Amino acid sequence: MDWVEGIGLFAGFLGVSGWYPQVKRVWIEGKADGISVPTFVVICISLTLWLIYGVLKNSIAIIVANIFALLMIASIAIGAYRIQSVN
């Protein structure tokens, strides 16, 4: 891994960690007000395409960042959907 991929991995870590408060709010606090599930579905599609791009470019930073971002965003969307469908 060269330093450019290292920068990409660090940027990916920072970007993904920014979603943690939203995951916590949905799954631990059980609050989903203000969350648009369709928006998060579109973000999931976008991240999937970025993941495919990373695989095609053989970029570890893009692959890793988008796998973890996809997990975070999907968990927010699924959790928000569950909460909103009950209410």
What pLDDT sits at residue 16? 94
Can you give the pLDDT at residue 86? Answer: 86
Could you give the CA distance from residue 70 to residue 49 in angstroms, rounded to a whole number?
11
pTM (2 decimals)?
A: 0.85
Instruction: Calculate the alpha carbon distances from 80 to 41, 45, 66 in Å.
Output: 11, 17, 20
Domains present along the chain, CATH in parentheses: 30-87 (1.20.1280.290)
> Other CB atoms closer than 10 Å to residue 80's CB: what's the count?
23
Task: Convert the pLDDT of each residue in 14-48 to its tens digit.
Answer: 999 999 999 999 999 999 998 998 999 999 999 99
